[in-house]
């Protein structure tokens, strides 16, 4: 069953691109003692993800933080090099933490995997947004296949 409000974020290791190269990020540490808006995209550089999803969170970052979000993070089943380059290309500039879920461990652990094999993409994470407070999920917004509405920055702002 997919992750639900009240569930604790599972213990996994993401990877973040730093100036020194890829660095492990423990989900236990990342989500502790803060309110996080985490959104997932099926893939960096894909059309909706690049044209709407990530740019929406960049544009609305200050408004989200004004409503109590401490950290905004983006995850995808991509490697840290791709996530880092995509973040840089979209001007995240420290506003959004780019968390690579290269092997899909997080997507599997929260049961939000998408089968993109018919598009040559393999197994990916679904498009969704979570609000997580001190490691506990408060809100879950999973998109229906092919849709982009409930995981958008604008929609998340309305829910806060």
Domains of the chain, by residue range, sit at: 13-159
**19 class by beta-carbon count within 10 Å (0-12 exposed, 13-18 middle, 19+ buried):** exposed
Task: Tell me the pLDDT of the chain averaged across its residues.
Answer: 93
| Predicted model pTM | 0.94
Return the active site residues. Answer: 49
pLDDT tens digit string along 47-84?
A: 776 768 899 999 999 999 999 999 999 999 999 999 99
Who has greater pLDDT, 21 or 118? 21
Kindly list the distances between the CA atom of residue 158 and the CA atoms of 40, 60, 63, 91, in Å, as whole numbers in the listed order: 18, 12, 11, 24
- 69 neighbors 97 (Cβ within 8 angstroms): no
DSSP string, the chain: ----TTPBPP--EEEEEETTEEEEEEHHHHTTTSEEEEEE-S-TT-HHIIIIIHHHHHHHHHHHHHTT--EEEEEESS-HHHHHHHHHHTT-TTTEEEEE-TT-HHHHHTT-EEE-GGGT--EEEPSEEEEEETTEEEEEEEPPTT--STTSHHHHHHH-
- The fraction of the chain above a pLDDT of 90, given in percent, is 81
What is the dotted CATH code of the domain comprising 13-159?
3.40.30.10
**Which among 36, 22, 33 is positioned nearest to 100, based on CA atoms?**
22
Instruction: Tell me how crowded residue 55 is: count the other CB atoms within 10 A of its CB.
Output: 15
Residue at token pair 């660095």: 23
């Amino acid at each position: 069953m997919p992750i639900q409000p009240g569930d604790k974020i599972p213990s996994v290791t993401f990877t973040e691109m730093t100036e020194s190269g890829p660095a492990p990020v423990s989900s236990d540490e990342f989500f502790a003692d803060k309110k996080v808006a985490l959104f997932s995209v099926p893939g960096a550089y894909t059309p909706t993800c690049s044209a709407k999803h990530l740019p929406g969170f960049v544009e609305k970052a200050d408004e989200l933080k004004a409503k109590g979000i401490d950290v905004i993070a983006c995850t995808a089943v991509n490697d840290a090099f791709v996530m880092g380059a995509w973040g840089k290309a979209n001007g995240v500039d420290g506003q959004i933490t780019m968390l690579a879920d290269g092997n899909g461990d997080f997507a599997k652990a929260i049961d939000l995997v998408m089968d993109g094999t018919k598009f040559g993409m393999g197994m990916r994470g679904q498009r969704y947004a979570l609000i997580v407070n001190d490691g506990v999920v408060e809100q879950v917004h999973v998109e229906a296949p092919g849709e982009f509405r409930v995981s958008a920055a604008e929609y998340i702002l309305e829910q806060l």
